[in-house]
Amino acid sequence: MSTEVFSEKQYKEFTKELIRSFEKRKIIPLNTLKNDRYILEKPLYITLEIGEGVVIASLDDIEAFSYADTEYEAINQLCEEIVNLYKDLKEDRENLGPLPKKWLAFLEEVIRER
């Protein structure tokens, strides 16, 4: 087993790259689903990853994601995805496997219908 020793220059470059990778990723609270029929009882914390020409918005708790050219579009599409998944899971409640059941339980804790 070999042990690689970093030079000071390599260490500094590695540190800079690590910092840059965190700058491209942010976790933000989502306080609304932007849908008049569904209200969030508490914020959902979503991840935004900003790459070259694309923004990916994701909610890891239910493995939902969207991507678009801007943060605004990605967030709006993620909101639609969350609402659609919630409706689909509720509709098919009796036939869900273990993971989708967990997703539905999670969503039912945070979403209230008007």
Domains in the chain: boundaries:
25-113
What pTM was computed for the model? 0.79
CATH, range 25-113: 3.30.160
Three-class SS string for the chain?
CCCCCCCHHHHHHHHHHHHHHHHCEEEEEECCCCECCEEECCCEEEEEEECCCCEEEEEHHHCEEEEECCHHHHHHHHHHHHHHHHHHHHHCHHHCCHHHHHHHHHHHHHEEEC
Residues of the chain with pLDDT > 70, as a percent, come to 87
pLDDT at 105 over 70: yes
Token representation of residue 95 = 């036939």
